[in-house]
């Protein structure tokens, strides 16, 4: 899958590219409005990640260009302004999703994959890892072919783990992904721990392996290694 990342901050662009490439995406980058214009005119992309604040032009204008030239592309807007106006305008103009800076790389990855699934670029709406399978349309989860019943939060956590497999995912990013930004008012992350405990128990009941590893008290890694 081919992704174009349009981002003016050099360091951030490099990190995003690096992370997404480790997820086996094919990444191209554009660091300014004009570079983005060139790339968009010359090639087709499956997903475009667009930072709205760009030197040389307004990111919102690029949305128009993307909609003209790359109609089928999924568009994820990134903005540091956290400005509601930008968000609404962007989504109105045809952006598919919006993420504000600073974001977690695992969250960015999860958003891109969700966008890809919704657009059926891989021809599938299934996310699977060994014996665990998730159908993201019906939201059904099966372990060794047997369906398990997860709560909404458990489902969200499992899916987040599975799209970010083999990566350390911080507790902060899980909290924000599942509970939203609001949860920053929590003083500890025990509530995540109890959700994960339940999730492990349910998977184990169907003879699934425990892939969730605690990493240095910093977060978790979903991996079979």
Partner 1 sequence: MKLLKKTNRAYFVTSALAFIIFGVLIYFFLSFIFEGQLNEKLLSDRMSVIRNINKDGSLQYFPPFIEVQKVPGQTERSVVFVDTLIFDVTEKENIPFRQISSVVAIKGQMYLIIVRDTLLEKGDLLMTIIIAIGVVFALLIISLYFINKRLSLILWKPFYNTLDNLKGFSQEKPDFILSAETEIDEFIELNKTLEKLTLKVISDYQSLKRFTEDASHEIQTPLAVIQSKLETLMQYPDLKKDQAELIKSAYSSVQRISKLTQTLLLLTKIANGQFPEKRSVNLSELLEEKIELFEDQINGKSLILKKEIEPDCILETNFILAESMVVNLVGNAAKHCITGGIISIRLDKNNLEISNSGVPFSVPPSKLFERFYKINSSSESQGLGLSIVKEICTLNGWKIDYLYEDNQHKFIVGF
Residues that bind partner 1 (CB under 8 A): 9, 11-12, 15-16, 18-19, 22, 53, 80-84, 100-106, 153, 167-168, 170, 172, 179-187, 190-191, 194-195, 215-219
Residue (82 or 128) nearer to partner 1, CB:
82
Q: How far is the CB of 204 from partner 1 (least distance, A)?
A: 21
- 129 within 8 A of 162, measured Cβ to Cβ: yes
Q: Which residue shows structure tokens 């977060």?
A: 219
Q: How far is the CB of 77 from partner 1 (least distance, A)?
A: 14
Q: How far is the CB of 125 from partner 1 (least distance, A)?
A: 27
Residue (4 or 54) nearer to partner 1, CB:
54
Partners of residue 77 on adjacent β-strands: 50, 98
Q: How far is the CB of 215 from partner 1 (least distance, A)?
A: 8
Closest CA to 192 of 167, 171, 166, 221: 171
- Measure the CA dihedral 39/58/176/151, to 10°: -70
Closest CA to 128 of 115, 144, 106: 144
Residue (123 or 217) nearer to partner 1, CB:
217
């Amino acid at each position: 899958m081919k992704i174009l990342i349009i981002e003016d901050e050099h360091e951030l662009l490099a990190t995003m590219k690096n992370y997404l490439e480790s997820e086996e995406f094919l990444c191209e980058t554009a660091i300014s409005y004009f570079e983005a214009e060139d790339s968009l005119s010359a090639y087709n992309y499956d997903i475009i990640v667009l930072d709205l604040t760009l030197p040389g032009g307004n990111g919102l204008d690029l949305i128009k260009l993307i909609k003209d030239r790359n109609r089928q592309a999924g568009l994820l807007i990134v903005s540091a302004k956290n400005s509601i106006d930008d968000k609404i305008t962007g989504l109105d103009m045809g952006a598919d999703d919006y993420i504000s800076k600073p974001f977690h790389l695992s969250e960015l990855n999860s958003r891109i994959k969700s966008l890809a699934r919704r657009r059926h670029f891989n021809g599938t709406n299934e996310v699977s890892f060994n014996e665990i399978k998730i159908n993201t349309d019906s939201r059904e989860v099966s372990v060794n072919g047997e369906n398990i019943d997860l709560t909404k939060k458990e489902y969200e956590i499992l899916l987040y783990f599975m799209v970010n497999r083999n990566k350390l995912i911080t507790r902060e990013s899980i909290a924000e992904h599942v509970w939203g930004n609001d949860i920053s008012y929590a003083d500890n992350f025990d509530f995540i721990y109890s959700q994960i405990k339940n999730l492990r128990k349910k998977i184990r009941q169907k003879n699934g392996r425990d892939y969730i590893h605690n990493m240095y008290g910093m977060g978790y890694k979903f991996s079979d290694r």
